[in-house]
Amino acid sequence: MKKEIGVTFIFLSIIALLAGLLFGSLSAFQFVFPGLFDALPFFKNRPLHVSLVVSWIFLSVLGGIYYYLPKYCGLPLFSKKMATLHFWLFFITGLLILTSYFLGKFGGREYWEFPPVLAIPILISWLLLLINFFKTVLKKVGQWPVYLWMWATGICFFLFTFTEAYLWVLPYFRNNLIRDLTVQWKAYGALVGSWNMLVYGTAIFVMERIKGDESIAKSGLAFWMYFLGLTNLLFGWAHHIYIVPTAPWIRYISYGISMTELLILAKIIWNWKSALQHEKKDFYFLPYRFIIASDCWIFINIVLAILISIPAINVFTHGTHITVAHAMGSTIGINTMILLSSVLFIIDDVTKHQFSATEKNTIRTGFWITNFSLLIFWVSLVAAGAEKGVLIVENQLTFQAIMQKINPYLVAFACSGLGIFLGLLMVSVHPLLIIMRYFKTKKA
């Protein structure tokens, strides 16, 4: 019997997560203490961190989709060969991207800092996913659960926003600063919306499985969340371009809908937590714990998201460490917690491995270290960004003097980042070993 392709994606995703966190920790210390680790300088470390963490998100989501569709949705994949080809394209392209960073070969922008030619195999791999996914799910007759709609939307809009992010290679966009900046920030804002669709769809699926209640994914509340998330994906990015001279109505729409889908997602999780039977809480304790952690971080990040969407506050916060705090709160506190819940669910389901008391204690300890460190990390960035924003607007100090004043916050940020890495290492090490044993068994 061949290995589940979804589990192969999950295995690679855990490696990407740990490697991304390692490079992120090194980058944080290099930012605070310039000159550290000159063998791998900051300008290489940062894109390594970003690309690997983005890979963790997509690999773990795709691993879930490839596993859940045939196993739980009763929808055998249209083509297992396409899924396998997708994996190898992702893997080989990833190695080429990492190699280009180590060699100092760049040429791209933001999330995609690698040479633009490497975007071609990524585009092909997602086209394969698009075909395979729709050829699979269109066989389902009757009302679709909301997570199928969310996965479908996330896949389609990733392709759209990924293509849009490369419009800068055309002179029409590249040679006009306002047009170029607007399209770039719009593309990356909507890109986050596309992977949020994939992640939130996974969250709803896991909650449905744990509770054993299909009504969760077919409720009116779930579909309201989907449509609000879609609206946010289409327009919510606009708070990124308040400082760009664009049409005012774009800012108004953005402010009105920014982050509203998180409120609905929080409500769904809260309802689910309240109704869950006690014995099922215990049986699925580890996945349950990570879902609830994501719920807490949703509420924390909602407050910050609403504040930085207010134009008068955005003037102070835009481009400061507060933006980083919001991004990290979303990426680690919300997305990573949801995806770790999915990973633990899949590992338990496919390997039939019952975590021992020692393994559970290691994961639980890692869980608390991660969340406590993330809270310090987040507060440090918010404090640093607030002070920096005020000082920049007041324009009374040089940039170097401002950075010296906020340095204590940045030291706390770097140290807590190391705590996040150590915590997630404790969470991930046993799942990684369990999958390796599973692969060895299947090979034998």
Q: Can you tell me the distance from the alpha carbon of 40 to that of 102, in angstroms, rounded to the nearest whole number?
A: 8
- 243 to 50, 201, 319, 382: CA distances (angstroms): 25, 33, 11, 20
- Identity of residue 42: F
With 70 as the cut, is the pLDDT of residue 420 above it? yes
Q: Can you tell me the distance from the alpha carbon of 346 to that of 51, in angstroms, rounded to the nearest whole number?
A: 24
Q: What is the pLDDT of residue 262?
A: 63
Q: What is the pLDDT of residue 180?
A: 87
With 90 as the cut, is the pLDDT of residue 272 above it? no
Q: 86 or 227: which carries more pLDDT confidence? A: 86
Q: What is the pLDDT of residue 281?
A: 62
Residue range 196-251, pLDDT digits in tens: 899 999 999 998 888 888 888 888 888 988 888 888 788 767 666 777 777 777 76
Q: What is the pLDDT of residue 79?
A: 93
- 293 to 125, 253, 339, 353, 370: CA distances (angstroms): 32, 30, 12, 24, 11
Q: What is the pLDDT of residue 65?
A: 96
Q: Average pLDDT, stretch 363-384?
A: 94
CB 342 within 8 A of CB 64: yes
Q: Can you tell me the distance from the alpha carbon of 203 to that of 328, in angstroms, rounded to the nearest whole number?
A: 18
442 Cβ contact list (under 8 Å, min separation 6): 1, 2, 3
Residue range 138-182, pLDDT digits in tens: 988 788 999 999 999 999 999 999 999 999 999 999 998 888 888
With 90 as the cut, is the pLDDT of residue 342 above it? yes
Both tokens assigned to 21? 């966190």
384 Cβ contact list (under 8 Å, min separation 6): 320, 321, 406, 409, 410, 413
- Residue carrying structure tokens 């108004």: 252
Q: What is the pLDDT of residue 1?
A: 36
Q: What is the pLDDT of residue 258?
A: 63
Q: Can you tell me the distance from the alpha carbon of 120 to that of 125, in angstroms, rounded to the nearest whole number?
A: 9
Say how many C-beta atoms besides its own lie within 10 A of residue 410's C-beta: 20
Q: Can you tell me the distance from the alpha carbon of 75 to that of 66, in angstroms, rounded to the nearest whole number?
A: 10
Q: Give the closest residue to 309 by CA, choosing from 259, 249, 383, 244.
A: 259
Q: Can you tell me the distance from the alpha carbon of 314 to that of 318, in angstroms, rounded to the nearest whole number?
A: 5
